[in-house]
Structure 1
Amino acid sequence: MKNMTHAKYLEIAKIISQRINDGTYTSRLPLPDQETLAKEFGVSRLTVKKALDGLERQGLVYKQSGLGTFVSSNIPIKSSIDSPANMFMGLKKQLGSSNVKSEILHFSVEFPSEQIQKNLDLKSSDPVYDIVRLRIVDDLPFIIEHTYMPVTLVPNLNDEILHNSIYEYMHHTLHLKFGHAYRKIRAAKSSEYDQKYLNAKKDDPMLELEQIVWLTNGQPIEYSTSRNRYDQRDYTVLENNRF
């Protein structure tokens, strides 16, 4: 485990997920406690907790107050296109970097409109990146992302980063940490962009995710909309009722 990167919790979550899938950890039985897992992986209990929190958002485990963390039963309605609505990782991290490519449809620096000023708590003189990317998964068009970010908070953004992962650059190079996000999911009619780049038909409904993401210090860092065809992605929410 000494070769783990700074995203140790993601590596630990992946290992635990594999153990759940291969039956090492059994449905409706408790996982080893956090202290035991922390000793096994050579990390802090906080890192283990973060890994388990991520697995809980995916529906793989559930927590019972005072009893520990348990392996969830299979979710019959779960599908391969499900995406948790409360995820903070980028598409590359979620699906695997080898599967995801990015085509830049638009990239510019400009002064923000009144609405973008409100969304990102900016002045009219604060420049923003205006980015439109087509995300391609397994060589098929998947999502169109339209993103605005303050230039001062995300300096030196370039084509190379846009072709790879903006979130990876923000987290690992700039050491920025997300605090919270507000997300709105709705149905929409297909646009010319959708029809051109996502192979949507004029009467295909689109699934749109609109979000604002804040850093841990309360500063808005991103306003974006993501659009995909109705048959290519679902957004899921797992509710836990702990009493």
Structure 2
Amino acid sequence: MTQAKYLEVAKIITDRIDNGTYKTRQPLPDQETLAKELGVSRLTVKKALDGLERQGRVYKQSGLGTFVSSDIPIKDKKDSPANVFSGLKNQLKSDNVRSKVLSFSVEFPDEQMQKNLELKKTEPVYNIVRLRIVDDQPLIIEHTYMPVKLVPDLDEDILHDSIYNYLHHKLKLKFGHAYRKIRAAKSNHYDQKYLNAAQDDPMLELEQIVWLSNGQPIEYSESRNRYDQRTYTILENNRF
């Protein structure tokens, strides 16, 4: 197992669903059985199953356990769950994700960023702009602000890899909740230059604030992609 044990467990369960070991609408082994088999804690198994439920791969029935969901017929490889914030590499489950750093600086926050990240005007932030490249194709431009006091020693080596992996595995920080707003926007100079967007192409813009489990905001960001390159989906889990 790697440091992100719950992701390893989620992949094992996903592979078993895909190869038919776990059948549609049939129950999975209980958490204790899976934990013992895979050599992890029950909490790790629960976290993996919670993530798979958000993705729509499994569903839970109170008192009965966790079951394999039916396939979603309209699902597309461009889909990205709107309620998942595990980082692009983990979302796509791909090693072929690269980051090109377009801009990286440390500066004092303006009034809006002070409000978004609950900072004083003398507390510096990282101002990061990255182009995310998947399978050698430009996909997303991310503009991110993070407080320096919460994310020490961030450098370009980390930016070229995964910021979220650095936060979770190196700094041992845990996310609590996130606010997201998805809207349409007109293409700008960055979109046209780096995402090959036409001047009249609509863009999808995702604005978000992410809080740590202790309630501190750690990230304010805006990410943009071309309308035909990525979609956001929501799967409702209503339990009665």
TM-score calculated relative to the size of structure 1 = 0.97
Letter in 2 for 1:226: S
Aligned to 2:146: 149
CA drift at 1:88: 2.1
Q: Determine if the alignment matches structure 1 residue 214 to structure 2 residue 211.
A: yes
List, as ranges, runs of 4+ consecutive aligned residues in structure 1 with deviation greater than 6 Å: none
TM-score calculated relative to the size of structure 2 = 0.98
Kindly provide the CA deviation profile for residues 18-64 of structure 1, in whole angstroms up to 9, marking residues without a partner as x: 00011111111111111111111122221111110111111111111
Distance 2:212 2:234 in 1: 22
Q: Determine if the alignment matches structure 1 residue 87 to structure 2 residue 84.
A: yes
> Which runs of structure 2 are paired with 1:1-80 in the superposition (5 Å)?
4-80=1-77
Aligned to 2:157: 160
Please, which runs of 5 or more residues in structure 1 have no aligned partner? none
Kindly provide the CA deviation profile for residues 61-83 of structure 1, in whole angstroms up to 9, marking residues without a partner as x: 11111111110111000010111
Kindly provide the CA deviation profile for residues 72-127 of structure 1, in whole angstroms up to 9, marking residues without a partner as x: 11100001011111112111222245211111111110000100000000011110
Aligned length: 240
Aligned to 1:180: 177
* SS in structure 2 of the partner of residue 102 of structure 1: strand
Letter in 1 for 2:123: D
* SS in structure 1 of the partner of residue 95 of structure 2: helix
Please, which runs of 5 or more residues in structure 2 have no aligned partner? none
Distance 2:2 2:133 in 1: 26
* SS in structure 2 of the partner of residue 83 of structure 1: strand
CA drift at 1:203: 1.3
Distance 1:114 1:100 in 2: 34
Q: RMSD value over aligned CA atoms?
A: 0.9
